[in-house]
Structure 1
Amino acid sequence: MPALDSLVARLSTYLSDDQVNLVRRAYFYAEQAHDGQRRRSGEAYVTHPLAVAGILADMHMDHQSLMAAMLHDVIEDTGIPKDALIAQFGETVAELVDGVSKLTQMKFETKAEAQAENFQKMAMAMARDIRVILVKLADRLHNMRTLEVLTGEKRRRIAKETLEIYAPIANRLGMHNMRVEFEDLGFKAMHPMRAERIYAAVRRARGNRKEIVNKIEQSLIHCLQREGLGGEVMGREKHLYSIYKKMRSKRRSFSEIMDVYAFRIVVDKVDTCYRVLGAVHNLYKPLPGRFKDYIAIPKANGYQSLHTTLFGMHGVPIEIQIRTREMEEMANNGIAAHWLYKSDEETLKGTHARARQWVKGVLEMQQRAGNSLEFIESVKIDLFPDEVYVFTPKGSIMELPKGSTAVDFAYAVHTDVGNTCIACRINRRLAPLSQALESGATVEIITAPAARPNPAWLNFVVTGKARTHIRHALKQQRRSESVSLGERLLNKALTGFGSSLDKIPEERLRQVLGEYRMTVWEDLLEDIGLGNRMAYVIARRLLASDGELAPSLEGPLDIRGTEGLVLSYAKCCSPIPGDPIVGYLSAGKGMVVHLDTCRNISEFRHNPDKCIPLSWSKDVTGEFSVELRIELEHQRGLIALLAGSVSAADANIEKIGMSERDSRTCVVQLVVSVHDRTHLARAIKKLRTISGITRITRLRA
């Protein structure tokens, strides 16, 4: 009760009495619902929702968010249905609670899948009401603060999830204070020894640096007073996780990172920010290329500030951030500052709009993603902390994650622009689509109506939106092409039986679809095109009468090479024209051609659905690989002799390897490409002319 009284006292400073009473009522309802439940620490369970509400109260969140915080585990942990919450507290609060609750009814194969599905559900709830994520972040923050009672493995798993998803989301929504606490708590849970050592080193450094920090602070204060500028100067310390990340990414020692002194100057209005910037540039020499104006062009999460780096006394680098009080509040609380100020200022509206824009993008990704794991991967990619700012040809500014390419830019403009993109101009010059964009560049996309996304783009795009849309378009493209190819292959197989698809009755098509447990004819054609089913087998099924066997081809199927069939040659036995062969139907690969005697298909040899007799056509073309094992005596220029003999037989060497058998003899593994058995015999005959060769064997399975 003292904790509740303390919370009520805080809420009374900014909420009405009726709103405070609604929050109290939600607390008593949660207390009753969680009656008898305990946390791992042994405390009554209701202390957790009360603490979550306390975190939101510090952000001055509205009464509905606080009620949802009190009730956020009721649906999940007590069996009270959503309808009961609607009846008691209204639909808005119930929807917030439901959005935060996990998917407890569904069972998942892996923890990763469960995590992905939960996040997917939360993303959809966020799209309806952004407060869902704020309640969820507060819930996760209290769980992180009380992590020490869990087992080591569970602690590390929760910390990893926090560092990968929740800290970047807090950053994306501009909530700096929460992000820093997430990162430091997560770091301590993941790497307790490293965190302890860095913390001890920071404490030691703080004592050594105290004098120089005070001197720089005093000189900055005197500078502002001299220029008649009001402002508060404060020293800034890097938090543990950011020190650790910098040490790892930049491969620097602790002392190198702590050499930089950081200060923040908070002033009354935007105009003063720029005047203070001029004053500090007069005081200390600025470092070229290190000035950033995030006031004119705010970061994607709404963060605004002027950043500059100066050469201080004794050449010590000083990082300075200059911002207004509102910007300071926005930087620390991000989107939560809306409820803190309840103001109509442009900066606040801008941040809310940016957050909504991001959530809208997340929802679009969710709709396009193939599954929840693909979706969460795209979201993780999209939670980049650094941005580049580029211009459209008409002068509009676009924000993209660092490392973005022209393809990312194209998808940011519009999905259709991305899908039909063929080239780009960066600063009016043609450039590769894979080139990373730099801030200030003007990007122009060249499109063609018939163009389609290239699978190679997935190797260099960095935004989640681009990745999701490319994958979606490729899946659609692959399906349409597979259906078309499947139809051609099936018609070809039917032609071999003197029939065609047009001649097959509709009723028979439906029967065969039923046999394969499919409802759409295109799905069966897609399977044929992808090589998951063989056109020849489907053709026999279609032509089979009730109770009769399907007709069979007279003699084996002729193979000319890759004439439309999804056809490949087995690497285990390397068949070449002239060898007796058989076709094995392999899912995803289509028809794989093996030697008739290959041991790898002996168990399927007599299964007509899996193996089909094949023969080489008289006009077969192409080159086929064969592996030879050559035993011979050591001699100078051995490789050159072998290469010369193979070349004299008009064949090519694809691969060569050599191993010693003893001091006098060695074994050479040679992969050569030939047209057929006759050509191979000619190549072997040439090789036999080399003196010292004792044996040549063709390797098969």
Structure 2
Amino acid sequence: MDTQSFFTEEEKKTFFSKYRLLLRNLYSFLQREDIRKMKSLMQRVVALDCYGRDKNGINGLLRNIDTALIVTQEIGLKRTPVIALLLYRPVLKKIITLEDVEQTFDPDVTLIISRLLKTSDLYARNTAVNSENFHHLLFSFAEDVRVILIMIADRLCLMRLGKQLKEDDRIRLATEASYLYAPLAHRLGLYSIKSELEDLSLKYTDRKQYDFIKQKLNETKRSRDAYIAQFIAPIKKKLEELGLTFDIKGRTKSIHSINNKLKKQKIEFESIYDLFAIRIVLETPLEKERSECWQVYSIVTDMYQPNPNRLKDWISIPKTNGYESLHITVMGPQNKWVEVQIRTRRMDEIAERGLAAHWKYKGIKAENGLDEFLTTVRAALEAKESNPLDLMQDFKMDLYKDEIYVFTPTGELIKLAKGATILDFAFAIHTKLGSKCVSAKVNGKNVPIKYVLNNGDTVSVITSPAQSPKRDWLNFVVTSKARVKIKQALREEAVKAAEFAKEMLQRRFKNRKIEVEEAILMRYIKKKGFKTVTDFYIEIAEERLDPNKVIDEYLELERKEKEVNDHIEVRSAEDFITTTEVEEISTSKDVLVIDKNLTGIEYKLAKCCNPIYGDEVFGFVSTQGIKIHRLDCPNAQEMFSRFGYRIIRAKWSGKGDNGYIVTLRVIGRDDITIVSNITSVIGKESGITLRSINIDSVDGLFQGNFTVMVKDTTSLNMLTKKIKTVKGVKTVDRLNS
């Protein structure tokens, strides 16, 4: 292999080191001639520069080797997916053919490559998932889960290389990972990968908050370790006395989950009690798993007082992604609540490696939940009229849902998303049952279809032949299966109604002896603001549009078009001139320059995040024109992931002297002088004016919102620093809106 021109010296060492590690991981799974065949093919494709560097300078072959190591070490896939991963790009570049691969290896390798090729837009370098190619992603997911596992590994590989990516690519990749790939990893039981994707995403989209939490964790590490050792010691001694084989350790929660707690509970870092969890992993044979886990539960709760409301038994009833564990929360030393997770080595491997570990332990409560999920995916894809945006939203909803367990009258267990209603339950049993559902009996009591189910409910559905799906059902069902089936039924009804309305309108035209020109009618429908012709006919069918009025307006449009055609003038190209000069930026992408002197381009500052001069921003093309958002806008993640094609790079120009409204949230000790001291600091700052104050005091804690007018981020940051020095002030945060 000619590696001299292909690799730098450092890359060459790294490659051969990782290549040897990959072979060691796969050695017992490879066939006799695999290594020789792979070496021969790799020499051929490297010589033809198939794995050249991408726009960020990342070596393609090194990236593939890194992804292959994640696939084997962290996900647990073996020979076939790894060979397919390494040969995917040469096939894509047409350097080797699928026939070559099949002759050299076997049809299963070819099958995975062909399925990867179907998602080539998604798997291409640094691209983001948008609503259109999400359909392809779901299709490949339903067809072969190994393809999605490879793509999750590839995204994790890229996220780890984040520093080498350009900022635009890094942010787009981070939002895509947290919006889609982390939930998919969660759904497939890959908890370690899910947590790492979320942490890296936070690091790249909100570095300030990431560094703040990381610093706080480092500051409290010594005291946390000491507490964990104190908590573990008596449990460890008792388990050893009983002769159990086990590992026990404390595990700090992810930065992303800590950040979520800070946001959701609106508390300070010091107020989070469950920064870590204690995990007890037992080495025990399959037949003793449940009894030994409950034995450990008994030991822990004998030593420490349990909170009965925080018991989670996923051993008796595993999660749909196969997760098994026993979670309890107990009162530890110093009156602190501590979460304890009890599981076996098999359960721990499934929790870390998810779906791939199920294949190792085939036949043990394996893939029922995933099969149900994939069945729902296939059903949604079969409804070809499905809106990709709806699909995205529905499946994102399903990926992270907590679960409840309810029973049919015969005692069959049904798993549903938390918040599921009677309708969700009915559709989970059968589509016809859901479509005809009018009410139900829960634990013997009559309840309506909107009734939200609880853990352990026994449900008996009541149907009527006259019932059919209604549009308002979509407002209260929470499972994607129910939503997909309801939308499918509503579409079928809408198509029938539209056909009827179309025939009726044609009869009306005929009765008035009017020859319809299809092109003019289409222009009329578009002018009226309808996105599709079906929407237009549905308006007529539901009597929101009068057919006689439609005919009159059609005739008026026809008359005007004929008049224009009669008087049209020929104009030269020189008559057409541009009205606005916009600064040109010499980059590969267009950049919107935000300047108060810019004319001809309409843009507005988004109210959801109130950007000011100096903020890192981007433009979003909406129906109301271009909106400017901050990169850390709470809506940025969804906009990048779902509407990547509408994103415009943006930068500020000129000076931020117009003044921008910003609200600062100040929390501190309730003191009679704190307000006057803060307002005094604001009053002394040149170019900053105080617009309004809203203060509150609860249990000795001062909370105030100070709305100020500033000229840019520099003056805002200076003001924030000075407010933090005021005696009694604990935190100062900028509010989004």
- Normalised to the residue count of structure 2, the TM-score between the two structures is 0.65
Change (3 A) 1:119 1:89: farther
Which residue number corresponds to residue 119 of structure 1?
134
The number of equivalent residue pairs is: 528
**Counterparts of 2:433 and 2:141, CA distance in 1:** 28
Tell me, yes or no, if the aligned pair for 1:11 and 1:20 is still in contact at 8 Å: no
1:209 aligns with 2:224: yes
Tell me, yes or no, if the aligned pair for 2:199 and 2:255 is still in contact at 8 Å: yes
Amino acid at match of 2:191: H
Change (3 A) 1:152 1:354: same
1:277 aligns with 2:293: no
Q: CA deviation at 1:455?
A: 0.5
Which residue number corresponds to residue 677 of structure 1?
none
**Counterparts of 1:45 and 1:207, CA distance in 2:** 41
Change (3 A) 1:189 1:33: farther
Task: Report SS of the residue matched to 1:425.
Answer: strand
Q: CA deviation at 1:355?
A: 2.6
Which residue number corresponds to residue 597 of structure 2?
none
**Counterparts of 1:136 and 1:26, CA distance in 2:** 23
Amino acid at match of 1:372: P
1:323 aligns with 2:343: yes
Change (3 A) 1:37 1:228: closer
Task: Report SS of the residue matched to 2:310.
Answer: coil
1:152 aligns with 2:160: no
Name which of 463, 479, 499 aligns with 1:483: 499
Name which of 59, 70, 74 aligns with 1:44: 59
1:462 aligns with 2:485: no
1:530 aligns with 2:546: no
Q: CA deviation at 1:193?
A: 1.4
Q: CA deviation at 1:531?
A: 4.7
Name which of 289, 292, 302 aligns with 2:312: 292
1:307 aligns with 2:307: no
Tell me, yes or no, if the aligned pair for 1:425 and 1:444 is still in contact at 8 Å: yes
**Counterparts of 1:19 and 1:79, CA distance in 2:** 19
Tell me, yes or no, if the aligned pair for 1:329 and 1:337 is still in contact at 8 Å: yes
Amino acid at match of 1:250: Q
Tell me, yes or no, if the aligned pair for 1:281 and 1:310 is still in contact at 8 Å: yes
Q: CA deviation at 1:372?
A: 2.8
1:434 aligns with 2:435: no
Name which of 263, 285, 289 aligns with 2:278: 263
Tell me, yes or no, if the aligned pair for 2:274 and 2:339 is still in contact at 8 Å: no
Tell me, yes or no, if the aligned pair for 2:198 and 2:256 is still in contact at 8 Å: yes
Amino acid at match of 1:298: P
1:234 aligns with 2:267: no
Amino acid at match of 2:270: S
Cα-to-partner distance string for 1:467-526 (whole Å, 9 max, x where unaligned): 12111111111121233344456556766x6x9xxxxxxxx99x9889989xxxxxx996
Name which of 392, 412, 425 aligns with 1:376: 392
Q: CA deviation at 1:43?
A: 4.8
Q: CA deviation at 1:133?
A: 1.4
Which residue number corresponds to residue 367 of structure 2?
352
Change (3 A) 1:608 1:186: closer
Q: CA deviation at 1:326?
A: 0.2
Task: Report SS of the residue matched to 1:72.
Answer: helix
Cα-to-partner distance string for 1:550-574 (whole Å, 9 max, x where unaligned): xxxxxxxxxxxxxx85447xxxxxx
**Counterparts of 1:243 and 1:9, CA distance in 2:** 37
1:138 aligns with 2:146: no
Amino acid at match of 2:279: R
Which residue number corresponds to residue 88 of structure 2?
72
Task: Report SS of the residue matched to 1:71.
Answer: helix
Change (3 A) 1:479 1:329: same
Tell me, yes or no, if the aligned pair for 2:442 and 2:457 is still in contact at 8 Å: yes
Q: CA deviation at 1:417?
A: 1.4
Name which of 381, 391, 403 aligns with 2:419: 403
Change (3 A) 1:11 1:482: closer
**Counterparts of 1:33 and 1:440, CA distance in 2:** 62
Tell me, yes or no, if the aligned pair for 1:19 and 1:63 is still in contact at 8 Å: no
**Counterparts of 2:247 and 2:463, CA distance in 1:** 52
Q: CA deviation at 1:583?
A: 6.4
Tell me, yes or no, if the aligned pair for 1:34 and 1:74 is still in contact at 8 Å: no
Which residue number corresponds to residue 393 of structure 1?
409
Change (3 A) 1:283 1:24: farther
Tell me, yes or no, if the aligned pair for 1:391 and 1:443 is still in contact at 8 Å: yes
Q: What is the root-mean-square deviation in Å for CA atoms of aligned residues? A: 3.5
Structure 1: runs of 5 or more not aligned: 500-507, 518-523, 534-563, 569-581, 593-600, 610-701
**Counterparts of 2:152 and 2:49, CA distance in 1:** 21
Mapping for residues 571-582 of structure 1, pairs under 5 Å: none
Amino acid at match of 2:264: S
Tell me, yes or no, if the aligned pair for 1:260 and 1:317 is still in contact at 8 Å: no
